[in-house]
């Protein structure tokens, strides 16, 4: 049954996807802008294009399925989904305003889980009973694993490139790396679109299942993925310049060679996580990759003070979003 609240939930979900796009635009374009390979305007157009191209390739929707199963079905209704989305949007806008590259993925998961636990509490159940522990532990583990994998791959790629190109003329090498950075940035944007758009698809599919408009996740109508990819691409075109500055210059100074390494490492890591249906954070992944290229130069090349501040944002995102989700559901429960 189509209700006003269902329409509101779908609109909010697509709005979150749009916000996710401009919040996470920095993940795809920070290094290519900081190395001056593309202007900011051209960079967001480039990233948005490949965000949307992912729609034609990522058709298994494994990540969306994982998101949909974060909260157990018996503790899901439209109010729970609504509260989770409000919490996620609120935290995303807060971190965007202050230029903090937090994870849009984790704020969505945190908000959804928090509202689900609050609903379980209202029903007189243990709040943790609402959570699918296997799916949640998989997501939580990649808060640590995604940046570590990204950093490791970026170190390996950087060392390989340096070894291969050690006899090349600097001017010719830089010209080649500026060209290659177009490809690596496209690959990262492609992986970002394929990974992040699916998270909102999972939320919308969950809402449709809760209203019994579709029987299961596999019956998700085609307009859901299409609208999600359009929204994230449109959001990316809006940019997120405060976060671009943090990602592109504050962690470590990035050259075209290092930009290629970081973006390629990020794309590979996200490709791995998408293959296994793990909703990893693009923000965490590319941050780890950028740290990796900095470490290759020397450990002191990384501004660890900035990095530690980012880590605090990562640690706080899920619990703060969960708290916001629970509070929003409580307010909604009281009003209704």
pLDDT in tens, 147-177: 899 999 999 999 999 898 887 787 888 888 8
Local confidence pLDDT in tens for the 336 residues of the chain: 678 999 999 999 999 999 988 777 666 677 777 777 887 778 888 888 999 999 999 988 889 888 888 999 999 999 999 999 999 999 988 988 877 767 888 899 999 999 999 999 999 999 999 999 888 888 888 888 998 999 999 999 999 998 988 877 878 888 888 889 899 989 999 998 999 899 999 999 999 999 999 998 889 999 999 999 999 999 888 765 555 554 444 545 677 888 899 899 999 999 999 988 888 888 788 888 888 888 887 765 566 555 666 677 778 899 999 999 999 999 998 886
Q: Quote the pLDDT of residue 249.
A: 47
Q: Where are the alpha helices (DSSP H) in the chain?
A: 4-34, 40-53, 62-68, 78-97, 104-122, 133-164, 170-210, 223-238, 241-245, 256-275, 282-297, 304-335
Q: Quote the pLDDT of residue 296.
A: 84
**Integer angstrom CA distances of residue 255 from 259, 260, 294:** 6, 9, 10
pLDDT in tens, 212-239: 999 988 899 999 999 999 999 998 887 6
In DSSP notation, 91-159 reads HHHHHHHTT----HHHHHHHHHHHHHHHHHHHTTS-GGGGB-HHHHHHHHHHHHHHHHHHHHHHHHHHH
Q: Quote the pLDDT of residue 184.
A: 92
Neighbours of 215 (CB within 10 A): 9
Q: Quote the pLDDT of residue 297.
A: 79
Q: Quote the pLDDT of residue 248.
A: 44
Q: Quote the pLDDT of residue 236.
A: 85
**Integer angstrom CA distances of residue 24 from 72, 93, 334:** 28, 12, 34
Cβ–Cβ < 8 Å for 114, 321: yes
pLDDT in tens, 47-86: 889 999 999 999 888 898 888 889 999 999 999 999 999 9
CA atoms of 295 and 299, how far apart (whole Å): 5
In the block, tokens 């009281």 appear at 334
Q: What torsion do the CA atoms of 273, 278, 279, 281 make, to the nearest 10 degrees?
A: -50
Q: Quote the pLDDT of residue 301.
A: 56
Q: Quote the pLDDT of residue 37.
A: 81
**Integer angstrom CA distances of residue 197 from 1, 72, 76, 223, 311:** 25, 22, 21, 13, 24
């Amino acid at each position: 049954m189509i209700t006003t609240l269902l329409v509101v939930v779908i609109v909010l979900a697509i709005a979150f996807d749009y916000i996710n796009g401009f919040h996470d635009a920095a993940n795809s374009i920070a290094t290519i802008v900081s190395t001056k390979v593309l202007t900011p305007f051209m960079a967001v157009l480039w990233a948005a294009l490949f965000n949307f191209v992912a729609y034609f390739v990522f058709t298994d929707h494994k990540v969306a399925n994982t998101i949909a199963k974060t909260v157990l079905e018996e503790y899901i209704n439209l109010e729970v989904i609504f509260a989770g989305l409000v919490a996620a949007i609120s935290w995303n806008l807060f971190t965007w305003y202050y230029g903090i590259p937090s994870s849009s993925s984790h704020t969505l998961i945190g908000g959804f889980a928090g509202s689900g636990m609050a609903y379980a509490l209202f029903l007189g159940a243990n709040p943790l009973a609402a959570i699918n522990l296997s799916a949640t532990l998989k997501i939580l583990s990649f808060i640590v694993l995604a940046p570590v994998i990204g950093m490791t791959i970026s170190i390996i790629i950087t060392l390989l490139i340096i070894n291969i190109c050690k006899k090349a003329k600097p001017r010719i090498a830089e010209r080649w790396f500026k060209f290659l950075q177009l490809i690596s940035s496209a690959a990262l944007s492609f992986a970002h679109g394929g990974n992040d758009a699916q998270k909102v698809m999972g939320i919308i599919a969950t809402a449709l299942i809760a209203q019994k408009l579709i029987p299961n996740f596999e019956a998700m109508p085609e307009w859901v993925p299409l609208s999600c990819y359009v929204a994230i691409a449109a959001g990316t075109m809006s940019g997120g310049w405060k976060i671009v500055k943090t990602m592109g210059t504050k962690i470590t100074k990035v050259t075209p060679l290092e930009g290629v390494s970081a973006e390629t490492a990020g794309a590979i890591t996200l490709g791995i996580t998408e293959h296994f249906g793990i909703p990893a954070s693009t923000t965490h992944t590319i941050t780890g990759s950028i740290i990796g290229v900095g470490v290759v130069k020397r450990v002191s090349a990384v501004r660890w003070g900035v990095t530690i501040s980012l880590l605090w944002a990562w640690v706080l995102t899920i619990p703060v979003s969960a708290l916001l989700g629970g509070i929003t559901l409580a307010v909604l429960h009281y009003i209704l």
